[in-house]
Structure 1
């Protein structure tokens, strides 16, 4: 069994990053967006397709135009012939996990330069598509007949966390309001108009206690990053932050197997990432946390150890997620206001790179040295945590 102290801390860097400005892209195939963002990320690094010998992506949802062997199909479309590839699919955490896997592969000598990409027409996909995890056999037989969907599942977790730890709808609403404030600084954000707690609480109730504005935006978009060895990074156009720590974890598929609705597997992936980096939550001053719903943020804050579960509400209410707070998060506006085409993990990664380069799309901290990224996939099913450090 591997241990976190064996993770090659600082051995690799993210030297290229690009987020598509597309938010509404009807009649644009996701593979075209893959090609656009890969080309732009490589240009950001001063590299070409010929320099790439590793590739990772996940494209199994209908709006991603993927199916079986999707990694192969996308690589073919964009002209890649990698000697190492990864199609691990754990939902929104997939691209974050791909970074850790790429670091391990590079360190093992299986490849030297890896492109990780994602694209989806989450808003404009023209064909009918159902919710994921909707198979009528296997674990789904206990939920699908009753109409349980993604929002209902997150609402169950929200209800339980609120019951046990005193979190209030106003606290969740304040998360959405803060993300909108950051989005107001981001010229590419889907929604930028100011928003209040009352706006959130008066928006349509989707599934108690989650209102419409507690839920992420739905966009078309894509993004890509380039990971390479520290030695190779010295010869790229701009270099980039080092990957200091990584952890991943999974807990369940359907919600009927979730042992505790008040926490996620981030308590394990985070612990592993902190141990690998030789750091603790108190060392992190900015983070990009998956925000598919406002409750996702609340659960993640406590699971990663930034605040005790019973103190999450006060932490949010006192402005600790804001520009002058203890932990500014999702500084581009996050999935709640800026961009969420299906797997927010890629965009969280890109914003982390921009933050450490001093070029956030939204609110830029003065001189951050570290940034944590946490992805959440499925129905709070799997997580991946990365800690990046400025070079």
Structure 2
């Protein structure tokens, strides 16, 4: 039986973002929870589900849910901690919806906090995978995406300036977002002049590293209609994973991402033409190009041309990452993409609001391209 529109996101909360000296993963998670609770109009005792992502700097690791729950004073019926990098936020929202639909919980808080900018977080491939690719210098997420970008350029003729279109669009949207970390507009020339990180990726092709916290509350749809905020339905959900990376010739293209989006479309009963606004996971600018192809907005190899001419900016055919994304708003490993999707469906984004937006696609990816998920949010 389809879960279309049976659950809703009823509360979202985000702390200040950027460099926050003195904050910890735990204090940021707690602050975000309080903000989401206030946003929803629920009381703490209403929350009977707690799912967490410990981020890079929480010392408890997989026991993070215990520490967060203890600090919040919550004894949930349904709980746990998951780690899928940038795919975690979407996966936890899906897990929350499954628990609610099964009668295991009523209101589930999905919570994230991290002090990666000031707490020494390390972003690289998990160790202990046998002969690590690090022995020949393949040591970072930037390296993976640089290979993807180089291969896309070689096969399809994609250019660095087209990657720059993504960075410029995200920064323009961030300039309209008072909570964004990077708000000064940039040009294609600024992008081209920024230093190399891993060729062909410039500095402005790469996401930020940030301190911050985010909380997303999921509830049953029929309860959402009596709560504080306009209803935002979880209309479609999809996940896909691969445990093989370098062993597969097309690993760089992350084809499993298409499967995740297609599953979400199928559940929601929509297609790419129905999407009014998209929040596409952008750890690097090339990631957005892949998502545009996997989401069916253009054919394989056509995303470079697709992003030209302001097509993904506000007022364009498909506004993308309307709060600035990981590239300019803040790097919260995809959590803020869901928050922005919810706010767009509520019509609460002010200057950056997409007119008459009713359906939003949100995507996430993580763990060295292994994990992908997608959500279709619908105005209730």
Give the TM-score category using the shorter length.
over 0.9
Of the candidates 119, 128, 143, which is equivalent to residue 133 of structure 2? 143
Equivalent runs, 1:194-343 vs 2, <5 Å: 194-252=185-243, 255-256=246-247, 259-341=250-332, 343=333
Find out whether 1:12 has 2:1 as its counterpart.
no
Distance in 2 between the 1:33 and 1:60 partners? 11
Query: How far 1:235 sits from its partner (Å)?
Result: 2.6
Number of residue pairs matched by the alignment? 379
Distance in 1 between the 2:280 and 2:212 partners? 19
Distance in 2 between the 1:68 and 1:86 partners? 8
Deviations for 1:255-303, whole angstroms, at most 9, x for unmatched residues? Answer: 4557431244220110100000111111102010111100111111111
Partner of 2:354: 365
Deviations for 1:141-186, whole angstroms, at most 9, x for unmatched residues? Answer: 2402123121111101111111111111000011000100001111
Find out whether 1:158 has 2:152 as its counterpart.
no
Partner of 1:21: 16
Partner of 1:348: 337
Of the candidates 27, 32, 37, which is equivalent to residue 37 of structure 1? 32
> What is the TM-score with the length of structure 2 in the denominator?
0.95
Query: How far 1:60 sits from its partner (Å)?
Result: 5.1
SS where residue 246 of structure 1 aligns? strand
Q: Answer yes or no: is the 8 Å Cα contact 1:167–1:313 preserved in 2.
A: yes
**Structure 2: which 5+ runs fail to align?**
none
Runs of 4+ in 1 over 6 A off after TM superposition: none
RMSD across aligned positions (CA)? 1.6
Kindly tell me: are residues 37 and 201 of structure 1, through their superposed partners in 2, closer, same or farther at Cα, counting changes over 3 Å? same
Distance in 2 between the 1:387 and 1:154 partners? 25
Deviations for 1:101-125, whole angstroms, at most 9, x for unmatched residues? Answer: 1111111101110001111112110
Distance in 1 between the 2:246 and 2:60 partners? 25
SS where residue 213 of structure 1 aligns? helix
Q: Answer yes or no: is the 8 Å Cα contact 1:356–1:369 preserved in 2.
A: yes
Equivalent runs, 1:94-113 vs 2, <5 Å: 94-113=88-107
Query: How far 1:239 sits from its partner (Å)?
Result: 4.0
Distance in 1 between the 2:33 and 2:324 partners? 23
Distance in 2 between the 1:310 and 1:200 partners? 22
Distance in 2 between the 1:196 and 1:274 partners? 34
Query: How far 1:138 sits from its partner (Å)?
Result: 2.4
**Structure 1: which 5+ runs fail to align?**
1-5
Q: Answer yes or no: is the 8 Å Cα contact 1:60–1:70 preserved in 2.
A: no
Distance in 2 between the 1:358 and 1:210 partners? 35
SS where residue 90 of structure 2 aligns? helix
